Structure 1
Amino acid sequence: MKMTNDLPAAKRSCDLLIIGGGINGAGIARDAIGRGLSVILCEQHDLAQHTSSASTKLIHGGLRYLEYYEFKLVRKALLEREVLLRAAPHIMHPLRFVMPHDAGQRPAWMIRAGLFLYDHLAHRKFLPASNGISLRGHEAGTPLKGSYRKGFVYSDGWVDDARLVVLNALDAQERGATILTRTKCTTIAQQGQGWQATLDSEDHGRIDVHARAIVNAAGPWAGQMANAAGGGKGHGLRLIKGSHIIVPRLFSHPYAYIFQNPDKRIIFAIPYQDEFTLIGTTDLEYTGEPGAVRIDDSEVEYLCQMANRYFSKQISAADVVGTYSGVRPLLDDASQSASAVTRDYLLECDPAAPPFLNVWGGKITTYRKLAEEALDMLQPRLGTSAPDWTATAPLPGGDLQQPGALVRKGAFDQFMARLGQSHPWLPAKLAKRYARCYGTRLLHMLGDATKIADLGEELAPGLYEREVRYLVEVEWARSADDILWRRTKCGLYAKPQHHARLTQWLNHERAKQPA
């Protein structure tokens, strides 16, 4: 079983070394290799293991940011929302949000004005406009307490955040980039007109890389990397902890909810993996090690209480079947509350030294634009001038209607219909999961399989050997958690014995590899 971490010796010199395998690093790697630069990306753990797999999984403009007058950020995000929904319709899809309203909240006229602005800050092709609804006569009102009579509906998008990272890295690799997971950058030193970096890789040991430019996309660790490069104190970052809970589904309709709470914060309740509801997020200052972040009991209690203000069905910690937490590295703009800290980003590059680009802050929706701006800054320093290209290129598996083309409305449903005809032996639930994870790439993953037995052992509910082998050989998966939680969400159905069996299978396959 061949791993995807081979490092050709010729790749030890590159135009661009990217530190960090989250969404910003992977997005920059994809854009850069497509502009003709040679690229090495190193990630100390798994792709998207930290912040980039711990979002609320939304592609959105950020309706609440209008309250903080972040009009430029919201417009930029709204424009990107349309681009991304067309580029990856398998891992992203439109989602309608319901905002219940009562007398204790902002006046209805103010909410209408905000939604009107949200609808018109950027041109929409994919998504319908907002409108008011009577919750008593609408299916989205059924799960709510009877005291909520009026509401508003608006549009945004849902995304599988961890898969978004993997697909950007996969596209970068297929275009020629070297992607090194479980590889930590330990030293950086200026050398002539470039940089010398030492990488410590689980697979390859010590790797010395000479790069003409470096991108520091290390997220919560970006300040540490800037210091390691001799850049002095990094730009002010505030580490904000965000936690989510997963409970058995509280409603069966396709709408999501945005709830405004007495503390002026908002939380979302989102349909999740068909059988669950995702509720989040918290916003708390965090001072610990970013890789060790965990939800605490008070956060679980808070999220349950906020959901219980709205839903008829009450929940408690006993109902929680899963949680996740992440640390968002946000620009320190001196905001008093964590919720008010800007989600915009800043790119900084010292003009007096070889190119070393620091990426501060950001949000998942604007990652592609951030990458585009990063390359626009770096190219003049590297003597190149290739045009930007990612706005019109689908991500791997996203060309559901025509190879290499962005999609139109209804593409995913049409793809599912074709899949049902070509693979009638796939159970409907499994076929949908494969289509959502891999899009057109599922044909590569399935290979010559013509019946369920061809997929091999079912290592966990709905997870067969053939898929696991694909994830290891093509998508850098190494551990059970990589597979159960980041490449798929099969961990929601897995028991401890499934985790143990999958780990045993992975260890057995790894032992068969030559030294």
Structure 2
Amino acid sequence: MSGGEHMTAGATTASNSDPLGVDLLIIGGGINGAGIARDAAGRGLKVMLVEQADLASATSSASTKLIHGGLRYLEFFEFRLVREALIERERLLRIAPHIIRPMQFVLPHVPELRPRWLMRLGLFFYDHIGGRKILPASRSVRLANGAYGALRPGLDHGFSYSDCWVDDSRLVVLNALDAALRGASIRTRTRFLSATVDGSQWLATIQDVKSNETTQVRARAIVNAAGPWVQDVLKGLPKMDNEGQVRLVKGSHIVVPRLYNGEHAFMLQNPDGRIVFTIPYQEEFTLVGTTDVPFSGDATQVSISPEEVLYLCNTVNSYFRKSISPSDVKWSYAGVRPLSDDESKNASKVTRDYKLELTETTPDAPPLLSVFGGKITTYRRLAESALSKLQPHLDSSDREWTDKAALPGGDLPRADFAAFAEGVHKRWPFLSASLAHRLARAYGTRVEKILGKAQAMLDLGEHYGAGLTQAEIDYLVTNEWARSADDILWRRTKLGLHLDSQQRQRVAQLFDSQQS
């Protein structure tokens, strides 16, 4: 789960050491917490981030995996959010060209849902309000040709526009990695229990999930970036007046065998006003999502419902020649989006904008900054805003720097991924073309730390299937906080889709043997 939320501890072993001292304690290892940690560490602050589970283990790995402005938000007049997101879209593409790539989206026109002129007008605004420089402009397309032949007869007209795809889990991990490289302490499997005001500082108690050992931390400020658990964290803090409220909305996705050829995605409109994307995924599959369902209950136990599976299948079947059914689903995932509650009646219309709430118990007390809402595309700008609010309290640098500094592995020569991937294959010719491409895409220039001086696959250690080797696992454990098979197979590599049950079990046994 993302968030390291407040929980009642069981038996604990207290640490007798003096409290650790930091400038900023961040609760939550999702995209917002990791992004704030990176920005703060780069400004010279002493930072600690605590996350109860794995980085990106909840909402931040359950996204539709898009860096986009949110075309449909224009209908809700969210012009500021769309503009900010579109500006961030190209900034993120520049700093992480390995894990982020441009993608063409095709929007079929269904006359009964929206008039063509309205779609054209919306795309005109989408092209121009964000200062687009890299991605191509939108255009009208005919859908009856071969490129879009997978669509059913009768869908003759549509539009094409560009956004970006992102490996969402890796985006979180790379922000945390950059923060650590700049001096931050990233503590996964560590719960936040509580905090009290001690003079001008916070005195917080955190707990190692495995050993139950507790540690005290003195912090000049706390950031509550616990996502769905942001209000649970507030229960472990002195009573404060918080205006922000979280609206929990479940979004679910299914993965099915590839529906069509090509690297383009489709944006499908539904009569209920909701949007579903179909996105090429992991070479052999198509990702379909998302749903928008009000959620209540335990956010750690979220899963897709049969009704959601059927809804997504029916959406696909209303647009494509090829029909799918629930039996075609190879994998599914669901996440709870912690949206800032704007009291919208319809869950799909709740704002994706964020709210940062700074509270203090007294004028001399240390600050608490709580993050409500947000979307993965605007995480970097959110982090800048958070540091701007905290700057007077921490007397930190006001230099904004994260828009130009490449994320780890993103310093590709001329930002040319295709040339870089080709260079990886030439340098390590024993790799298959597909494996060289996958490693280049996941790790960028840091692929050197995995492949090093290897001259054959045998030099990379045991092969677990689908190109996953002991060398890659060792890298992920040593550098990226991987502590379980799920951390590796479903978040950092997505290879769980390509391994059979026996191969997945072999990876799990590797971690079981280390923990026994």
Superposition TM-score, scaled by structure 2 size: 0.94
Q: Which one of 42, 67, 92 corresponds to residue 84 of structure 1? A: 92
Question: 5+ residue gaps in structure 2?
Answer: 1-14
Of the three residues 209, 216, 225, the one matched with 1:202 is 209
Mapped partners of 1:386, 1:425: distance in 2 = 48
**2:266 equivalent among 254, 257, 275:** 257
Residue in 1 that maps onto 2:375: 363
Higher mean C-alpha displacement, 300-309 vs 442-451: 442-451
Aligned-pair identity (%): 55
Counterpart in the other structure of 1:52:
60
Q: Verify the 8 A CA contact 1:194 1:213 in the aligned structure 2.
A: yes
SS of the aligned residue for 2:403 comes to helix
1:236-255 superposed matches below 5 A: 236-255=245-264
* Residue 4 (structure 1) aligns with: none
1:458 aligns with 2:470: no
Q: In the alignment, which residue of structure 1 is the partner of 2:50?
A: 42
Residues 315-334 of structure 1: matches in 2 within 5 Å? 315-334=324-343
Q: Compare 44-53 and 489-498 and name the one that shifted more.
A: 489-498
Contact 1:32 1:39 in 2 (8 A): yes
Quote how far apart the aligned CAs of 1:229 are.
Answer: 1.1
Q: 1:83 Cα deviation (Å)? A: 0.3
Residue 513 of structure 2 is aligned with which of 494, 503, 508? 508
Deviations 1:41-87 (A, max 9, x none): 00000000000000000000000000000000000000000000111
Take 1:316 and 1:129, find their aligned partners in 2: how far apart are those partners? 35
Assess if the C-alpha contact under 8 Å between 1:145 and 1:312 holds in 2: yes
Task: Say whether the 8 Å CA contact 2:142–2:157 is kept in structure 1.
Answer: yes
The whole-number CA distance in structure 2 between the counterparts of 1:231 and 1:48 is 29
2:9 is matched with: none
Which secondary structure does the structure 2 equivalent of 1:450 belong to? coil
Instruction: Give per-residue Cα distances to partners, 1:246-305, cap 9 Å, x unaligned.
Output: 000001111100000111111000000111000000000000111110001010000000
Residue 417 of structure 1: how far off its partner (Å): 1.9
2:339 aligns to what SS in structure 1? strand
**Alignment partner for residue 101 of structure 1, among 109, 120, 125?**
109
1:226–1:233 contact (8 Å) kept in structure 2: no
8 A contact 1:44–1:181 mirrored in 2: yes
Q: Is the 8 A contact 1:460 1:502 kept in 2?
A: no
Task: Answer whether contact 1:61 1:77 (CA < 8 A) is retained.
Answer: yes
- Whether 1:335 aligns to 2:347 is no
> Within 1, Cα distance between the matches of 2:408 and 2:21?
27
1:495 to 496, 500, 504: 500
Q: C-alpha separation between the residues in 1 aligned to 2:369 and 2:175?
A: 20
Quickly say closer, same or farther: Cα 1:348–1:103, change in 2 above 3 A: same
Residue 30 of structure 1 corresponds to which residue in structure 2? 38
**Secondary structure of 1:228's match?**
coil
Is residue 271 from structure 1 mapped to residue 271 from structure 2 by the alignment? no
Q: Counterpart of 2:355 in 1: which secondary structure?
A: strand
The 5 Å alignment of 1:69-218 reads 69-137=77-145, 139=147, 141-202=148-209, 205-218=213-226
Letter in 2 for 1:377: K
Q: 388, 398, 417: which is aligned to 1:412?
A: 417
Provide the rounded CA distance (Å) in 2 between the counterparts of 1:149 and 1:231. Answer: 59
Residues 54 and 487 in structure 2, CA contact (< 8 A), matched pair in contact too: yes
- How far apart in 1 are the matches of 2:98 and 2:434? 15
Partner of 1:238: helix, strand, or coil? strand
1:391 equivalent in alignment to 2:378: no
Q: 2:230 aligns with which of 219, 222, 225?
A: 222
User: How far is 1:232 from its partner?
Assistant: 4.2
SS in 2 for 1:103: coil
Query: Is the Cα–Cα contact under 8 Å of residues 194 and 211 in structure 1 kept in the other structure?
Result: yes
Cα 1:301–1:417 change in 2 (3 A) is: same
Counterparts of 1:457 and 1:350, CA distance in 2: 52
**What amino acid sits opposite 2:403 in the alignment?**
A
What CA distance in whole angstroms lies between the structure 2 residues aligned with 1:11 and 1:436? 41
CA offsets, 1:202-251, max 9 Å, x none?
36621110101000000000011123212446521110000000000001
Q: Quick check: 1:29–1:41 contact (8 Å CA) kept in 2? A: yes
Kindly provide the amino acid, as one letter, of the partner of residue 361 in structure 1.
Answer: G
* Counterpart AA for 1:196: L
The answer to whether 1:313 aligns with 2:328 is no
Deviations 1:328-365 (A, max 9, x none): 00011011100000000011112533111001100000
Query: Alignment partner for residue 467 of structure 1, among 455, 468, 472?
Result: 472
The answer on 1:18 being equivalent to 2:30 is no
Report SS of the residue matched to 2:45. coil
- How far apart, in 2, do the equivalents of 1:373 and 1:42 lie? 21
1:292 partnered with 2:301: yes
Q: How many angstroms does 1:126 deviate by?
A: 1.4
1:427 equivalenced with 2:432 (yes/no): yes
1:396 alignment partner, SS class: coil
* 1:3 alignment partner in structure 2: none
Shift of 1:398: 0.4
Task: Specify the code of the residue in structure 2 equivalent to 1:262.
Answer: P
Unaligned runs of 5+ in 1: 1-6, 402-406
Q: Secondary structure at the match of 2:233?
A: helix
**Between 196-205 and 389-398, the greater mean CA deviation after superposition:** 196-205
Does the aligned pair in 2 maintain the 1:223–1:233 contact within 8 Å? no
**Deviation readout 1:296-333 (Å, 9 max, x if unpaired):** 10100000000100010000001000000000000110
Letter in 1 for 2:196: A
Aligned with 1:306: secondary structure? helix
Distance in 2, matches of 1:233 and 1:288, equals 24
In structure 1, distance between residues paired with 2:387 and 2:419: 36
Q: Is the 8 A contact 1:36 1:386 kept in 2?
A: no
Aligned length: 496
What is the RMSD computed on CA atoms of the aligned residues?
A: 1.5
Native 8 Å contact 2:421 2:441 kept in 1:
no
Give the residue type in structure 1 aligned to 2:114: R
SS of 2:235's partner is: helix
